[in-house]
Amino acid sequence: MLFEWDHQKNSLNCKKHRISFELAASIFDDPLHLSVPDEKRHAEERWITLGRSATGELLLVVIHTYKETLEHEIIRIISARKATKKEKKHYEEGI
């Protein structure tokens, strides 16, 4: 799996949410991460993924796109933030 992102968006996300896209990418290693399609209309299909960071300390929500090539799965991270209480409950219940 490969990750990509806009470096300027990463910088803005770090300032706004104090979450780097590097850290956000680690949630895809969480065996319990949950991914659902983003219901909002966008020019591209987006996904919302909820999972624990590599350290296990943070539960994060990551907005991203997903595409497959013959060689790789590519996730382009758009934004990342800490999960809300409601999102934490969904994660704990496996919804």
Per-residue pLDDT of 37-54, as tens digits, reads 998 877 789 999 999 999
β pairing state of 47-52 and 59-68 = antiparallel
**Residue 55 confidence (pLDDT):** 87
Q: How far is CA 1 from CA 50, 80, 90, 92, in A?
A: 17, 18, 25, 25
Pick the CATH number of 2-93 from 3.40.50.300, 3.10.450.530, 1.10.260.40, 3.10.310.40: 3.10.450.530
* 86 vs 47: CA distance, rounded Å: 18
Please state the pTM of the whole predicted model. Answer: 0.90
pLDDT bin (cut points 50, 70, 90) of residue 95 is low
